[in-house]
Structure 1
């Protein structure tokens, strides 16, 4: 039997502090069929991390081989370690009608959209209501030093400049309202014609029924 729906690659991007991670967690609670993309990395596993669950832990030569073979949807090097999204498990999941959520920056989002699975993407960008509010949110988290916060603010300007590349852009001035809008968008996008391969068979059957009435 044909799948009734093809899964989406949901790309969620924002500058640090705009609320992306909180919104991603809320989406996972809202729909437990959603799954985070498990990244591959060349860094060593930390205490408690499970291979294939937290990350796919791999060597640098293995990682580079996957990149050169086109087996990564997106990849980047951060502080001397490589991170990337393997294509095969994502492709298998969306074929079964399961949506995969990517919490990535604009560069990762661009690579995914330009990949072999790009036509199945749904890209969303989250903006802060103001720069002052963005700064306040970073400081009230209490996770970073002043120098780190200053660095995040500088990077935010570049991140925000890429907002036109996304299909949907939401200003997160109210977390509950933004969450509700995201749910509405995802629900509607799941019903796109391109996401429903079984429609072809349905229309063929309708045409056969027309022919039988002649």
Structure 2
């Protein structure tokens, strides 16, 4: 697997998925790397577009067959991972793979691709703002929000392992900064 890749990681609710979608619309060289998970789809999520939704048994079978570039049990019984076949597909199309993954997956992918990867950490302005965003999404139970906030505190410690950190205090500004970083990485200024 050769070629350039872009990694976005952040605590849930930091805005990384919105930033990634914005970049996908603006930069035609990018192709989204669809992750696999065994969790149930949220409303409006589509298999093969947002995630490859696998059964737990199918996910574990792929782990045993070494079909993942990286994978993790993010929450007890809930798996996420990047299929090697997905990355190969994008690179074979001559595109730049874009990953929207958790911080552990992001650091693992960065280690694998080294200088061919740009790893960007999207940071919320504060944990209080993150909690507000999670609540405003109206997609998670109170228990899930608590889990996400506890996990976010740990994830923020991973920021130092990324090439760049963008504080998402204003979405438009964060999108512009991400676009500049990605364009400079794909086609470095002369």
Superposition TM-score, scaled by structure 2 size:
0.80
Using a 3 Å threshold, how does the CA distance of structure 1 residues 160 and 62 change in structure 2: closer, same or farther? same
Q: Which residue of 1 aligns with 2:110?
A: 113
Flag the structure with higher strand content: 2
Query: Over aligned residues, Cα RMSD in angstroms?
Result: 3.0
Alpha-carbon separation, structure 2, partners of 1:49 and 1:14: 22
Correspondence 1:70-109 to 2 at 5 A? 71-77=67-73, 78-80=75-77, 82-94=79-91, 96-109=93-106
Q: Which residue of 2 aligns with 1:204?
A: none
The answer to whether the 8 Å contact 2:41/2:53 transfers is no
Alpha-carbon separation, structure 2, partners of 1:40 and 1:134: 25
Alpha-carbon separation, structure 2, partners of 1:91 and 1:44: 26
Alpha-carbon separation, structure 2, partners of 1:43 and 1:186: 30
Using a 3 Å threshold, how does the CA distance of structure 1 residues 42 and 134 change in structure 2: closer, same or farther? closer
Instruction: List, as ranges, runs of 4+ consecutive aligned residues in structure 1 with deviation greater than 3 Å.
Output: 40-46, 48-54
Residues 33-78 of structure 1: CA deviation (Å, up to 9, x unaligned): 42221234567999x95569842747256313332xxx42211235
Aligned-residue offset at 1:96: 4.4
Alpha-carbon separation, structure 2, partners of 1:169 and 1:138: 21
Aligned-residue offset at 1:16: 1.6
Flag the structure with larger Rg: 1
Unaligned runs of 5+ in 1: 1-5, 194-214
